[in-house]
Structure 1
Amino acid sequence: MSDNKNGFPKFLKILLLLVLIAGIVVGYLGYQAFLGPSVTKNEPYLYVHSGDTYPDVLRQLKEKKIVGNVRFFDYAAKAMDYPASVKPGRYKLTEGLSNRRLIGNLRGGYQEAVKFRFENIRLKENFAALLGKNFEADSAAFLHILQNDKVAESYGFTESNFFSMFIPNTYEIYWNTSPDKIIARFHEEYNKFWNTERKEKAAALNLSPTEVSILASIVKGEALHKDEMPKIAGLYLNRLKRGILLQADPTVIFANNDFSIRRVLNRHLTIDNPYNTYRFKGLPPGPIMLPSIAAIDAVLHYEKHDYIYMCAKDDFSGYHNFAVTQAEHLVNARKFQRALDARNIKK
């Protein structure tokens, strides 16, 4: 005899209710695992290193609390076969991103490129450190390339002037790109930068692109203001044409490897170093820093004048007084020296 007047057993009603509840729970969990918001605001990027395995990725997600529920991510990742498709890269994390979208990006290797910008770099060590900070490879790997004679020669440079190949600008490069490919990318940009027009202007100065860059590094070292660069470039070109020592203070500072020098003294000028333009005629063997595009173009579009002397203005504005004769220059130099003394700047 049925315990239900409508002929539908009570236990079936309970069973159907349990199935319904289970379905709702499974649906909810499935939604949370795949489609629900998962990524937190704790980290802007997920860095998957070359050689990382799925457990490495999972450990990073947990330690940095990148996703709200690691178990949900793990379930979705396995369902989407991500453990067998781990790809290195720098992946953008957006708060609220679902596991499905995140895993899709990780599986497909859809990483965000690094917008790498550099300027005002003085030494190869500084450049290597900056590269190591922005890309997967460490600074030692980059420095090894920058100081390698054979690598420099493969690009048509020497170890001394190799630094002139790197044009300060903004580059989009993937984070896990190998150092040798990153250097190759810089070479591509160098070739694009030195187009026919710039090469022709360099040739008109009887300078190679590398020599222009070396001179531009000196101009960059002298100029605090971009609008004065063409005039400074013109002065050094005048000296080169006349066979006069460049006598550029920034090269002396570089030769002494003491960038704290604020006042170049006679003792600094005695160093026997090819970068000391007070002792060695012509351009130094390489750039004293990475020249900016503005400095390179200032050399190529130099200001024509007769100046062969310059001295910083005594108002410390960063501009210079220019002179044609040594007598005029000595007057300017004494003004500046008195200003240094007044400020007790001795070295």
Structure 2
Amino acid sequence: MYIKKILWAVALIGLVIFAVIAYYIYGAMFEPNTKFNNETAYIYVPTNANYNDVRDQLVPLLEDIDKFDALASQKKYTTNIKAGRFAISKGMNNNDIINSIRSKNLPIKIAFNNQNSLADLAGRISTQIEADSLSLYKAMTDESFLRENEFSKATALGMYLPNSYEFFWNTSAEGFRDKMLLEYNRFWTESRKIKAKKLKLKPNEVITLASIVHEESKQADEQPRVAGVYLNRLRIGMALQADPTLKFAAYQLPKYQNTVIRRVLNIHKEIDSPYNTYKNTGLPPGLIAMPDLSAIKAVLNPEKHSYLYFAADAKRIGYHKFAKTLGQHNNNAREYQKYLSSQGINR
């Protein structure tokens, strides 16, 4: 009789212990464990991060980090950290949180445009993905990569077509570069290559010319006409005489560092540079800036006309007046020069 009481007591204690453990496990796994007010919070887990790195981000987001620790250890997440961007929804329990940050790396949308150099682009991208600007620039300028894909440092910027793209946050510098090459090759469809060939231009040359068109006019509806002028000049062997190339050449010189050239002068036309399209015929060695897609498409689909000249329109700022003869052009140019002087713009 006494032994039975002892056995019943032991069994009862065992049930109580089991119930406590079960309650703790249930709480650790299935009770909501978030304390943020937004519907979703995100954590960014770097490559080669350890559990403490993840835990530091979770502490301000969770009600009970100790219960999370216990379940993370039980589910072996503490020794199996995955890099990436992960979402935690308001009201999630620990089990769901672990499943999310272990296997649901979320892509992000990145975007870029108007970057004047590979260094600028590397800096822009480094604010959006894990890779830092130095590793991105190194990948972008890798000589073996450029040579294998028929780019040079002067034309490499043209590989990065401004748009929005989907990437994983933990994409490496080489991974970003390689995907952008795929996007570049995807852009150059057979029909676009045929159009470029009819213009007697290679894809790199199309984008180089597009960079000049884009710097001349930001107006998408005018860019095909501007492209037509430059293509007419190329066709007859006339120098492009593009003011934006003079500015680009000037900005490479110490004299013009940290300055803004608002008015191109005769002194700029004397700069000794392959980008001086007043002194040199044909296209410059590479891009002078990153063109919008509209400018690239304008070069591939230029307006057919007989214009050889254009000057900024003082009455429609941002647009230009076009001319077929030098006399007409000089009149247009004088009108705009007069406008600049009236505005106090002398250099």
* Superposition TM-score, scaled by structure 2 size: 0.88
Please state how far the C-alpha of 1:254 moved relative to its aligned partner: 1.4
C-alpha contact (below 8 Å) 2:87/2:100 kept by paired residues:
no
**Per-residue CA shift, 1:119-142, capped at 9, x if unaligned?**
222111110001211111110011
Q: What code does the residue aligned with 1:274 have?
A: P
Give distance in 1, aligned partners of 2:195 and 2:265. Answer: 36
Residue equivalent to 1:196: 190
Q: Give the direction of change, closer, same or farther, for the CA distance of 1:343–1:93 in structure 2 (3 Å limit).
A: farther
After TM superposition, the structure 1 = structure 2 runs for residues 33-44 of structure 1, keeping only pairs within 5 Å, are 33-39=28-34, 40-41=36-37, 44=41
Residue equivalent to 1:55: 52
Q: Number of aligned pairs? A: 334
Give distance in 2, aligned partners of 1:334 and 1:60. Answer: 63
Q: Does 1:93 align with 2:71?
A: no
C-alpha contact (below 8 Å) 1:41/1:66 kept by paired residues:
no
Q: What code does the residue aligned with 1:86 have?
A: I
Q: Give the direction of change, closer, same or farther, for the CA distance of 1:289–1:68 in structure 2 (3 Å limit).
A: farther
Which 5+ residue runs of structure 1 have no aligned equivalent?
Answer: 1-8
After TM superposition, the structure 1 = structure 2 runs for residues 86-125 of structure 1, keeping only pairs within 5 Å, are 86-108=81-103, 110-125=104-119
Give me the CA root mean square deviation: 2.5
Residue equivalent to 2:309: 309
Residue equivalent to 1:272: 272
Residue equivalent to 1:185: 179
C-alpha contact (below 8 Å) 1:248/1:277 kept by paired residues:
yes
Q: 2:219 aligns with which of 202, 225, 230?
A: 225
Q: Give the direction of change, closer, same or farther, for the CA distance of 1:19–1:44 in structure 2 (3 Å limit).
A: same
C-alpha contact (below 8 Å) 2:88/2:100 kept by paired residues:
no
Give distance in 2, aligned partners of 1:102 and 1:335. Answer: 67
Please state how far the C-alpha of 1:316 moved relative to its aligned partner: 4.9
C-alpha contact (below 8 Å) 2:118/2:140 kept by paired residues:
yes
Q: Tell which deviates more after alignment, 266-275 or 136-145.
A: 266-275
Residue equivalent to 1:3: none
Give distance in 2, aligned partners of 1:146 and 1:161. Answer: 11
Q: Give the direction of change, closer, same or farther, for the CA distance of 1:151–1:244 in structure 2 (3 Å limit).
A: same
Q: Give the direction of change, closer, same or farther, for the CA distance of 1:254–1:83 in structure 2 (3 Å limit).
A: same
- Residue 134 of structure 1 aligns to a residue in which SS? coil
Give distance in 2, aligned partners of 1:88 and 1:21. Answer: 38
What fraction of aligned residue pairs are identical, expressed as a percent? 39
C-alpha contact (below 8 Å) 2:87/2:101 kept by paired residues:
no
Q: What code does the residue aligned with 1:117 have?
A: A
Residue equivalent to 2:341: 341
Give distance in 1, aligned partners of 2:160 and 2:43. Answer: 29
- Residue 187 of structure 1 aligns to a residue in which SS? helix
Residue equivalent to 1:66: 61
Q: Give the direction of change, closer, same or farther, for the CA distance of 1:98–1:223 in structure 2 (3 Å limit).
A: farther
**Per-residue CA shift, 1:108-162, capped at 9, x if unaligned?**
2x21112111122211111000121111111001111223322211212112111
**Per-residue CA shift, 1:38-70, capped at 9, x if unaligned?**
3425784211111111122112323xx132322
